[in-house]
Structure 1
């Protein structure tokens, strides 16, 4: 029941490694870390002291490539860096090219894609999907099942409740024009989003603004205001160039 650890990996004092872990080339693991069973740590990944990588987690993974992908991953991704005290939950996946700050948590079954940055003492809850090129500040809480789209910026001390959807594509996957106009959500310092709310592309929740549970945010939310509500009414016809032949 042994693990596979590259000869070029550096492992700090008092670090434990579980059964069947695979640790790639040029990995650096600090002191006092706990590496669980069946963990995969990909090449060049850097772990600070006292990190926990729980069973079946995968860290430092390179993104897959597929021709239909609208946003292709970069060729030269920096190594994944996990600062001191970071905890990665069971079955979580954290991609190469990202950084996670001190004492932050990526909970069970969550994922953080490439070129994203998470600050200190932040929580990415169970099953959360953080897409690529996302910026998340310090002391942020993103609760279970939320979707954080690419190009989102979430400032310090924000709260995102369970099953929130932050979106970035006004074209809903149609036409090449969409690729030039992706724009994620911006949540300024202290902004909050209630459970099951949806924020449409490019909208800003200003400082201490709140999107209430179940809201559909179609306009910016001013600082210190609470906005709620949803209704679907006829808006306009689907543009001809967006219709299927």
Structure 2
């Protein structure tokens, strides 16, 4: 068995449980009753609140390392990753520095959350989900397995994103310098729902309580409380008020 490696400057609260081969780097702060599985790596400065659980083989608080050819340059002096109390992180997950994750969230196995993201309370990030950099996610959001949330996306409270949804942020697909002026992910307003295998094109806004049917290609803004479907998606009817998030 390999004992945990804990830097002398790390602070561990009462009743923390560490698995085999855990690495805790300088300045890490763990609250009370934190549980770390086997082979977990906690990078420098990371803060985990009380009652956080982290599954085997997860990596928390690492710094971004973009490719040499990437248009995004490495960010220095990012603040540490912070994970709120009661949150559970599954096995094989990777969370970058510079991100804040609220209380009572679930980040499932093999999920990936980039730097400079802000995620509210009671959020579910399903298995294999990718959340790219500088994304804002509200509270009580559910993002189901294998969905891709592109950089510069905004998701408000009580949004539901079904499995395998794809969001995009670059209409120029990497060509011309002009693209940098228009690069933007979708905005999904409070209470909206996006069906499985839908694709949201750059910069579109999904209105409050709107419903995007499964398999839709969304190329333009969606009005509030409107059901759309198709490729390209078109309005079909109003969403009944009994389905609104505030009425649940």
**TM-score normalised per structure 1:** 0.93
Separation in 1, partners of 2:74, 2:148: 19
Structure 1 position 218, deviation (Å): 0.7
Offset at residue 66 of structure 1 (A): 2.3
Q: State the SS of the aligned residue for 1:126.
A: coil
Deviations 1:134-184 (A, max 9, x none): 000000000000000000000000000100001100001112222222111
Q: For 1:28-107, list aligned pairs within 5 A.
A: 28-107=29-108
Correspondence for 1:138: 139
Does the 8 Å CA contact 1:30/1:49 hold for their aligned counterparts?
yes
Q: Hey, what's the Cα distance between the residues in 2 that align with 1:5 and 1:185?
A: 41
Within a 5 Å distance, the mapping from 1:21-32 to structure 2 comes to 21-32=22-33
Q: Tell me the distance in 2 between the aligned counterparts of 1:31 and 1:7.
A: 18
Look up the match of 1:127: 128
Residue 13 (structure 1) aligns with:
14
SS in 2 for 1:228: strand
Q: Distance in 2 between matches of 1:219 and 1:183?
A: 13
Aligned to 1:158: 159
Structure 1's 159 and 73: CA in aligned 2 closer, same or farther, altered over 3 A?
Answer: farther
Q: Name the Cα RMSD after superposition.
A: 1.1
Greater than 6 Å deviation, 4+ residue runs: none
Give the unaligned 5+ runs of structure 1. 232-245
Paired residue for 2:237? none
Tell me, in whole angstroms, the C-alpha distance in 1 between the residues paired with 2:40 and 2:213: 38
What secondary structure does 2:178 align onto?
Answer: helix
Is the Cα–Cα contact under 8 Å of residues 66 and 72 in structure 2 kept in the other structure?
A: no
SS at match of 1:59: strand
Q: Is the 8 A contact 1:102 1:120 kept in 2?
A: yes
Between the aligned partners of 1:185 and 1:147, the Cα distance in structure 2 is: 12
SS of residue paired to 1:60: strand
- Deviation per CA, 1:103-131: give whole Å up to 9, x if none: 01111000000000110000000000000
Residue 133 of structure 1: how far off its partner (Å): 0.1
**CA distance in 1: counterparts of 2:174 and 2:194, whole angstroms:** 25
> In 1, Cα distance between the equivalents of 2:181 and 2:220?
21
Structure 2 match to 1:242: none
Unaligned runs of 5+ in 2: 233-248
Give the TM-score normalised by structure 2. Answer: 0.92
Could you tell me how far apart the structure 1 residues matched to 2:198 and 2:67 are?
30
Equivalent residue for 1:170?
Answer: 171
Task: Give the match for residue 240 of structure 2.
Answer: none
